[in-house]
């Protein structure tokens, strides 16, 4: 075997190893952002589980505010449905649907908190204080998980769009960028909800 043949096969082998490395990096980064979304999903499910308890506790005191309580439950149910869709494809447009549903839910919870101000007995209720504390803690966890997800998505998108992975991404089953999870009113969502009793 002559030297030019050896160099040719070394270059071919090197190119194959390099392309396999690009494929593996795309898979690794995609798995990271999907795992990060799973962390958001866990926290949102916890939040959705707390909301009915919060509404049930408030019902006894807020009998004249049925519309507000129903709006919270309706928004929660819509957000849960959007979460299921986003969990199936955390890189797709379902992320925007989830963000919109979360915005509606946050608005309904905010309205409920404002209405609760008129009920001092409710604000002093031990169960209500515990539930709102758990909800506040969960909101903080959602914010941290969302930040980790967005960081992982940004890392994936940056690698996917860089040269030369941009030429191979579509061929390797990575045809589009992943979507960030951004809420309509990000500043309000990122801040812990203000619940005063």
- Joined tokens for residue 33: 């952002």
Q: What is the dihedral of CA 180, 86, 32, 162, to 10 degrees?
A: -40
Instruction: In whole angstroms, give the CA distance from residue 196 to residue 133.
Output: 11
Average pLDDT over residues 40-56: 93
Instruction: In whole angstroms, give the CA distance from residue 116 to residue 108.
Output: 12
**CA–CA distance from 128 to each of 42, 67, 77, 120 (Å)?**
23, 19, 21, 11
Q: Is pTM, for the whole model, over 0.85? A: no
Q: Is a pLDDT exceeding 50 seen at residue 186?
A: no
Average pLDDT over residues 166-171: 91
Contact (Cβ atoms closer than 8 angstroms) between residue 18 and residue 165: no
DSSP, res 65: G
Q: What is the pLDDT of residues 84-136, one digit of tens each?
A: 999 988 877 889 899 999 999 999 999 998 888 888 888 778 888 888 899 99
Band of residue 60 on the pLDDT scale cut at 50, 70, 90: confident
Domain ranges of the chain: 29-190
pLDDT, mean over the chain: 88
What's the CATH code, domain 29-190? 1.20.1440.20
């Amino acid at each position: 075997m002559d030297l030019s043949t050896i160099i040719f096969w070394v270059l071919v082998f090197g190119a194959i190893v390099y392309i396999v490395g690009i494929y593996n990096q795309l898979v690794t980064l995609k798995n990271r952002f999907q795992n990060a979304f799973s962390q958001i999903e866990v926290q949102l499910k916890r939040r959705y589980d707390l909301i009915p308890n919060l509404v049930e506790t408030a019902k006894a005191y807020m009998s004249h505010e049925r519309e507000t309580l129903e709006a919270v439950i309706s928004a929660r149910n819509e957000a849960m449905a959007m979460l299921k869709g986003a969990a199936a494809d955390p890189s797709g447009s379902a992320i925007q649907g989830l963000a919109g549903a979360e915005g509606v839910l946050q608005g309904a919870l905010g309205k409920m908190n404002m209405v609760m101000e008129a009920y001092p007995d409710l604000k002093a209720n031990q169960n209500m204080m515990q539930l709102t504390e758990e909800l506040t803690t969960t909101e903080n966890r959602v914010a941290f998980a969302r930040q980790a997800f967005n960081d992982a998505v940004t890392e994936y998108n940056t690698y996917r769009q860089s040269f030369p992975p941009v030429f191979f991404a579509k061929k390797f089953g990575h045809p589009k960028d992943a979507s960030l999870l951004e809420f309509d009113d990000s500043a309000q969502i990122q801040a812990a909800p203000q619940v005063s009793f």
